[in-house]
Amino acid sequence: MPVSTSRPMATMAEAVVDLDAIAHNARVFADRAGTGVMAVVKANGFGHGATQAARAALAGGATWLGVSSPPEALALRADGITAPILIWLYPPTETFEKVLLEGIDVSVGTVEALDAVAEAARSMLVVANVHLKLDTGMSRGGAPAAEWAQLFERASMLHRAGALRVRGLWSHLATAEEPSDQGLQDQLTAFDEGLRQAADAGLDPEIVHLANSAAALGLPRTRFDLLRVGIGLYGIEPVPGASHDLRPAMTVQAQVLLTKRVPAGTGVNYGHDYVTDRETTLALVPLGFADGLPRQASGEAAFQVHGVRCPVAGRVAMDQVVLDVGDLPVRPGDVAVMFGPGTDGEPTAHDWARWAKTNPNHILTGIGTRVQRRYEPVR
Ligand SMILES: *Cc1c(COP(=O)(O)O)cnc(C)c1O
């Protein structure tokens, strides 16, 4: 649903989240791959609101939720979400009691964590579901290949003893956007080897998962049983330039607070990096780097006002930017769009990422808490 930019805004700055777009995007992945979809709603649902994004994704056909940490998973449960959830980051002191009581699955890459999970499950008389995490070459989380045999042996023993259930086996790809990358081929080979070793140890996990958004769309052989979909769920093409009918879900916009007509030669904002080259109108917009506008985008960034792209004049400050809107009849209360789906010519999260030399994930997750989230359609 296109976000209306003509009606007056109720708040100074807002992020409008199109929940139908999130449901649609979940469906695109589920239909395309014919596998299960884990909606990755870490980092507050990439800035969209974790619970709202989770509900929309589940409505669109996602069957799992993934978040990084215990508090994120517990917050979903506190909001009444009962779908399976996997977590993969926790401190070495984690006792797992709360997460196991809430039926949250735990990624495990060490024998120590396996034992801690089994112990917590035993003391609380609950079933613990673990997903064994293999480092197949990203050199981040998970067990390195040299420790797989030990991990599988211990997991198999605990599984047979009924101390826990090995429900999943998984890994994460470092270069899924580059199908021809040698590192990617090496990771796929290593993952196959891990699956073989797990089977040799007597493990038969119900859910094998490897693909993130880019792999899910571009590398069919990475799909296995479940896709872990993050950025694609929010409508951002994981490989820029490709087109999979994904719909960007977030529009960030703010009210113009003030306009002023200035002569040529007027220096604007800190340092006077921008000096007007003609008589023009400046428009003050209450969004700054504290709200997630990258300061590095100064000099390149633009907003859309009255259907026209207007450059950010000078630096992005903490709370505000100034736009050069030329001779447009812009008035206080008019809407300035930072980014949206791009369907009406407004900048996109990809544009902001390019201007700031970062990725769209960084732009989306950076949108601060001061920017009011508003959900459409209202349910
Ligand atoms: C964030 C994350 C994902 C989602 O990746 P996208 O590229 O955003 O789809 C999947 N798996 C893990 C382990 C992650 O941390």
Report CA(171)–ligand 1 centroid distance (Å). 11
Paired tokens of 25: 């995007």
**176 Cβ below 6 A of ligand 1:** no
Separation of CA 201 and ligand 1 centre (Å):
28
Of the candidates 117, 28, 358, 205, the residue with the CA atom closest to the CA atom of residue 39 = 28
The amino acid that residue 43 corresponds to is: A
Q: Is the shortest distance between the CB of 25 and ligand 1 below 6 Å?
A: no
User: What number does the ligand 1 atom closest to the CA of 232 have?
Assistant: 9
| CA–centroid distance, residue 36 to ligand 1 (Å) | 15
DSSP state of 79: T
CATH C-level class of 19-234: alpha beta
Whether the Cβ atoms of residue 244 and residue 250 lie closer than 8 Å to each other: no
Pocket test for ligand 1, best of 41, 135, 169, 212 (most atoms within 8 A of CB): 212
pLDDT tens across the length of the chain (379 residues)? 344 445 689 999 999 999 999 999 999 999 988 899 999 999 999 999 999 999 999 999 999 999 999 999 999 999 999 999 999 999 999 999 999 999 999 999 999 999 999 999 999 999 999 999 999 999 999 999 999 999 999 999 999 999 999 999 999 999 999 989 999 999 999 999 999 999 999 999 999 999 999 999 999 999 999 999 999 999 999 988 889 999 999 999 999 999 999 999 999 999 999 999 999 999 999 999 999 999 999 999 999 999 999 999 999 999 999 999 999 999 999 999 999 999 999 999 999 999 999 999 999 999 999 999 999 997 6
User: Closest ligand 1 atom, CA of 40?
Assistant: 4
The CA 193 to ligand 1 mean position distance, Å, reads: 22
- Has 42 been annotated as catalytic? yes
What residues does 105 pair with on adjacent strands? 86
pLDDT 10s digits, 2-42: 444 456 899 999 999 999 999 999 999 999 888 999 999 99
CA-CA distance, 59 to 65, in Å (whole number)?
A: 12
User: Does this chain's domain 19-234 share its CATH topology with 250-376?
Assistant: no
Distance CA 359, CA 338 (A): 16
Ligand 1 nearest-atom number relative to CA 214: 7
| 232 Cβ inside 6 Å of ligand 1 | yes
> Using alpha carbons only, what angle is made at residue 245 by residues 67 and 337, rounded to the nearest 5 degrees?
75
216 Cα nearest atom in ligand 1: 9
Amino acid, single-letter form, for residue 256:
V
Q: Where do the domains of the chain lie?
A: 19-234, 250-376
Cβ of 246 less than 6 Å from ligand 1: no
Catalytic residue among 260, 270, 274, 375: 270
| CATH class entry, domain 250-376 | mainly beta
Supply the pTM of this predicted model. 0.96
Q: Is 64 in the pocket of ligand 1 (CB under 6 A)?
A: no
Which ligand 1 atom minimizes the distance to the CA of 229? Answer: 9
Distance of CA 51 from the midpoint of ligand 1 (Å)? 17
What tens digit of pLDDT does each residue of 112-121 get? 999 999 999 9
Which among 136, 142, 140 has a CA at the least distance from the CA of 108? 142
Long-range contacts from 113-121, C-beta under 8 angstroms, 24+ separation: 114/151, 114/154, 114/155, 114/158, 114/164, 115/154, 115/158, 117/164, 118/158, 118/163, 118/164, 120/95, 120/96, 121/96, 121/163, 121/164
Q: Is 364 left (phi over 0), alpha (psi -120 to 50) or beta?
A: alpha
Catalytic annotation present for 234: no
